[in-house]
Amino acid sequence: MKLERVIQYAQTLLKMSITEGDIAVDATAGNGHDTLFLANLVGDEGYVYAFDVQKEAVDATLHRLLDNALEHRAIVLKDGHENVAKYVTKPVAGAIFNLGYLPGSNHDLVTKPNTTIQAIESLLKLLKVGGIIVLVVYHGHEGGKEERDAIIHFVSELPQKYVHVLRYEFINQKNEPPFIIALEKVKNIPLES
């Protein structure tokens, strides 16, 4: 057995919670790799909602879906993930975030703690019991540590009765390697009055 690398483990977690016919969310479409992965998991009866604020990310994701003839399984939205609840109304089986910046692009455009936490809160409400949200936390860039710390604080406060929170990381790697935070919804969270 080999320990799975961060991206491999993220995919393993998503495979455990998403089956054909499900709804999935790629909260940070980027170059479209996760959107394509999710589109393969949901099948022709399911659907993927992919979000990105950058036009080049939206275009790259659309091209990746078209190249694989899976564009009918997803909608790619040029909008921030904090607005997920405006578009997604059905229960979600799984979601993924790759936090940080778009690889090969402007490193000044990064995910922000306030919008990421807002998206997580919305997705937790939409998530089915047994569903998983995977956050791949890249934190070696300007603003990355602040986002990392804010997210760790937020998820650490989630009640374990409703959400299990996992952290998966390699602790002996250099240069601030990414790590995973996974949230599994184990029980519906009561609506606030």
Q: Where are the domains of the chain?
A: 6-185
For 23, phi and psi rounded to 5 degrees?
-100, 135
pLDDT in tens, 58-102: 999 999 999 999 999 999 999 999 999 999 999 999 999 998 866
Q: Read off the pLDDT band of 107 (50, 70, 90).
A: low
The rounded distance, in Å, linking the Cα atoms of 159 and 141 is 30
pTM over 0.85: yes
pLDDT band at 191 (very low <50, low <70, confident <90, very high): low
Residues with Cβ within 8 Å of 113's Cβ and at least 6 positions away in sequence, in order, are: 146, 147, 150, 151
User: What's residue 112's pLDDT?
Assistant: 83
Calpha distance 48→72 (Å, rounded): 9
Per-residue pLDDT tens for 139-177? 766 777 898 899 999 999 999 999 999 999 998 888 888
Candidates 3.40.50.150, 3.40.50.720, 1.25.40.10, 3.30.360.10; CATH matching 6-185: 3.40.50.150
pLDDT band at residue 193, thresholds of 50, 70 and 90? very low
Reported as a single tens digit per residue, the pLDDT across 3-43 is: 889 999 999 999 999 999 999 999 999 999 999 999 999 99
Sign of the C-alpha dihedral, residues 15, 16, 19, 22? negative
For residue 192, pLDDT over 70 is answered with no
- In this structure, of 22-31, 47-56, 104-113, the range with the lowest mean pLDDT score is 104-113
State mean pLDDT over 103-115: 74
pLDDT-based confidence at residue 128 (cuts at 50, 70, 90): very high
Q: Which amino acid is at 186?
A: V
10 Å CB burial of residue 156 (0-12, 13-18, 19+) is: exposed
